[in-house]
Chains A and B, each alone.
Chain A
C-alpha cells in the first residue's frame, strides 16, 4: 500500500468516524416529550428495524401517517422512540420524540387511544356542519322571533344583494341574507325606504321592512 492510498484510507476512516460520531451525538441529543403534550402518535412498523427502514410511520390504529419530515423520522428511529405531533406555544407544529415504553403502557388506559389517533375528515366535516347549523339557527331564531323584521342593505340593487338584520341602529353582520332567501322562507317586503341621498348603485342604502306571509 502506497503512501497516498494509505493517506486516503485514513481519510476515509476519519470521515466514517465523524459520521458515526455525529450520529451518536444526535442520538444522545434526542429529547422525549411527555405524552400529554402531544396529539397524534406515530410509530414505526414492526419490521422497520429489521429492514432498517424509517420511511413508514403508522398511527396507533395501524393506519399510515404521511407528511412526517425525514429528520423527525430518522431521529426517532435512531433513538428507538415513537413520534408525537406537538403544537408549541408559538403555534408551530412539529413531530417530536416520545417514549415508546410510556406509550405502550398508556395504551391500557381508557381513552388514550382515541386521544392520540388522527381525527377523521368525516368527523371534522360533521363538526363544521354542526357549527354552521348552530349559526343558522341563531339567525333564524332572530328572524322568526316576530312576524315582522327590519333589515338594512348597503346597496340594494337586486334580489341577491346582501341584507342584514338591525338591532337598534346597529347592523348585525352575522345575520347576512338576501331577498331571494327571505322570499323562499315565506317573507315578503311590506315596505322599504331609500336612506341614502346618493343616486349611485353602490350607495343604494335601504331599510327594508319584511313581513311573514300568513
Chain B
C-alpha cells in the first residue's frame, strides 16, 4: 500500500485545490506546482483515508486540512 499526504488551505469540496508540502520543520512550504484536487486523486486510484483539520478557524476560507491518501 502507498501513502501520500496533501494539504489544503480550504478543503470544502472535491475540487478544492490541494498541495504537497515540501521540506521539513521550519523550511516546510506548500509546493505550488503540485496543485491537484481530491477528484483527480480519486481518478488516479487514490482514496482519502484521513482528513485532519489543522487550523482552529471555523470560516470556510480557513478550512486548513491535512489529507492522507492511500492507494493499493
Contacts and interface: CB of A to CB of B under 8 A. Distances in A.
Interaction A to B: yes
Contact of B56 (A155, A179, A197): A197
A159 B4 contact: yes
A202 B70 CA distance: 23
A191 B53 CA distance: 14
Interface residues of B, number: 26
A148 B30 CA distance: 31
Nearest to B4: A159
A162 B3 contact: no
Given A157-B28, A161-B24, A192-B68, A179 B3 contact: yes
Most chain A CB within 10 A, of B5, B56, B64, is at B5
Interface residues of A, number: 26
B50 A189 contact: yes
Interface string A163-192: 000000000000000011001001011011
Contacts of B66: 156-157, 194, 204
B7 interface: yes
Nearest to A160: B24
A194 B20 contact: no
Nearest to A161: B24
Contact of A159 (B3, B49, B53): B3
Contact of B5 (A154, A179, A194, A202): A179
B27 to A, nearest CB: 8
B70 A201 contact: no
Most chain A CB within 10 A, of B7, B25, B49, B50, is at B25
Interface of B: 1-5, 7, 20-26, 28-29, 49-50, 52-56, 64, 66, 68, 70
Interface of A: 154-162, 179-180, 183, 186, 188-189, 191-194, 197, 199, 201-202, 204, 206, 213
9 contacts: A157-B7, A158-B20, A159-B3, A180-B3, A183-B2, A188-B49, A192-B50, A199-B54, A204-B54
Q: Closest 5 CB pairs between A and B?
A: A201-B28, A157-B21, A199-B55, A183-B3, A202-B26
